[in-house]
Chains A and B, each alone.
Chain A
């Protein structure tokens, strides 16, 4: 019973008091930032990444970062329901029906539905993760350089397919990210590339500075440009626990949302953002009363919330088994692994079982903590939203700069934050999403390294990528994904999904 052994090892690690504490800090911080509109989980983790550098144990650091991630998903939906202010993009769907329910005096029921849905989905997805991770890691261990190259290509192609906006723009962003990843000394020969004789660029573009700039600072600039303000009226919460009839009504959507979310979370790119939209669309189609959607339909809260959480959980699968990040948040987690001195990859699960299983088990504990933490503290979260922008934004910028500087005491990294913040803002104004850029930046070196290694092994014969069956298969799927994205019929559907998002 490997599964039981693994899970008990994980629980043992995750239940150590300091890890529970870090988990609590993580979910609390995550909720706090999930509540704030604009500054999503990616920006938060980017901003808080420097904080975890000085942690003694990598397990605690990763548990806290993971806590921030799903805490943010959760906090976003609480404010979406109570004040129609979705804290981050994946809870925008919850706001549609959740806030309508709150207006009808069913705020308690909507919150409970979101909590139950998130919790059930989180639990199931954690089990999926626990079951799927070890065999996948075993498969990944047999991968050679050629397979890894093709896998990275596949990951990048799918992230282009799932990115919002136009395919060429996403492709451009991925390429820009890969290019940024090549700055610095060549891994094999030590030749400086794209350094323009600036000595500080020899070590390459700093990952934390890039992430903080392009997500944190860009989000702040975007918020300054289009501020949004809502009234502070809180819908009263009473009769929290749903009745039998309502429990039955939500069980179907929760089950479907969990399944859909678990699947979409594994996909690279915007899987975790798309999952709630896909679930909402599916529930609306399946419902016997589609006209109720948009006017406080229970299924419109239960489905997307479950899908959202399940996807957040399963997006750890490619990270833990293949070291391929499924989304920008996971790219940041890879950064955290590296900073803690762990090389992410299929070996991590064998070499650091306590870390991997502890992380998995902590997600379950985190979900329990979130339910306990969120409802009593909703007043606090709303009070936090009253902090004026002119206090909040400068504070964030200062903290982020200090944090990034403290990692390696290099003032250049602070300049990089500013430069990438501006670059990110310009890109966003041009309708380009920064997420594929970060994925390209993280996966670029991996892509290059494996390409060169495979070419060395095959003695310069590029056909190695298509003659090895696994590699050829992965490349074919990648090509198919790209093809599907540019096909006219598919493109229309894709645009429709993203229009609903806006």
Chain B
């Protein structure tokens, strides 16, 4: 059992990470941070750089939680998170959510919405 965090470096990321740490401590498990890159451009802001990964693990260690980071490249971001959750037999998936307009969701889809609807376990949506 573990807590899986869908992580993208943006404004709600910190709040979601803190929530994931809190949940992991409460459940006595580790956190698997899944940072998916869609892989559709040569360079992508959504990928956490090496030192960013180290910072996440360190913050986990400071809070006494074991943090492992996965960085799969997959065009289907929500699917990759759900895969990882299934593989680690996750008790909880934590995902950062933000306000999106209806049109924006229609056009781009919502990763958070797909995770919430399709996950087999509990999902915690954290607002940034």
Give chain A's interface residues, CB within 8 Å of chain B: 36-37, 83, 85, 227-233, 382, 385-390, 392
10 contacts between A and B (CB under 8 A): A228-B42, A229-B38, A230-B44, A231-B43, A231-B44, A231-B49, A232-B49, A386-B41, A386-B44, A389-B41
**Size band of the interface chain B makes with A:** 10 to 19
Q: Assuming A386-B44, A386-B45, is B39 touching A229 (CB within 8 A)?
A: yes
User: Quick one: which of A229, A387, A389 contacts B47, CB cutoff 8 A?
Assistant: A229
- The smallest beta-carbon distance between A82 and chain B, in angstroms, is 10
**B69-105 residues at the A interface, CB under 8 angstroms:** 73
The one of B41, B50, B51 in contact with A229, judged by C-beta atoms closer than 8 angstroms, is B41
Q: CA A388 – CA B39 in complex, angstroms?
A: 9
Residues of B within 8 A of A (CB): 37-45, 47-52, 73
**Is A85 touching B43 in the complex (CB atoms < 8 A)?**
yes
Assess whether B49 is in contact with A229, with CB atoms less than 8 Å apart: no
The reply to whether A230 and B40 form a contact with Cβ atoms under 8 Å apart is no
- In the complex, which residues of chain A have a beta carbon less than 8 angstroms from the beta carbon of B52? 231, 233
Q: Which residue of A lies closest to B53 (CB)?
A: A231
Q: Which of A83, A229, A233, A386 contacts B37 (CB 8 A)?
A: A229
Contacting pair A233 B49 (CB below 8 A): yes
Q: Which residue of B lies closest to A381 (CB)?
A: B43
Known A231-B48, A231-B49, A233-B52: A385·B40 in contact at CB below 8 Å = no
Shortest CB–CB separation between residue A456 and chain B, in angstroms? 54
Chain B residue contacts of A390, Cβ below 8 A: 40
Which B-chain residue is minimally distant from A233 (CB atoms)? Answer: B49
Point out the residue from B43, B45, B73 that lies within 8 Å of A83, measured CB to CB.
Answer: B43
What residues of A have a CB within 8 angstroms of the CB of B39 in the complex?
227-229
Query: CB-CB < 8 A to B37: which residues of A?
Result: 229
User: Which of B41, B48, B50, B51 meets A388, CB within 8 Å?
Assistant: B41
Chain A residues, Cβ within 8 Å of B43? 83, 85, 229-232, 382, 385-386
Give Cα distance in the complex from A43 to B44, angstroms. Answer: 24
The answer to whether A232 and B40 have CB atoms under 8 Å apart is no
Complex contacts, B41 vs chain A, CB 8 Å: 229, 385-389, 392
Cβ B42 vs Cβ A230 within 8 A: yes
> Separation in Å of the A38 CB from the closest CB of chain B?
8
Q: Kindly list 6 other residue pairs between chains A and B, CB separation below 8 angstroms, not including A386-B41, A387-B41.
A: A227-B39, A227-B40, A229-B44, A229-B73, A386-B42, A389-B41
Which residues in A have their C-beta under 8 angstroms from that of B48?
A: 231
B100 CB to nearest chain A CB (Å): 19
Shortest B42–chain A CB gap in Å is 4
Are A232 and B73 within 8 A (Cβ)? no
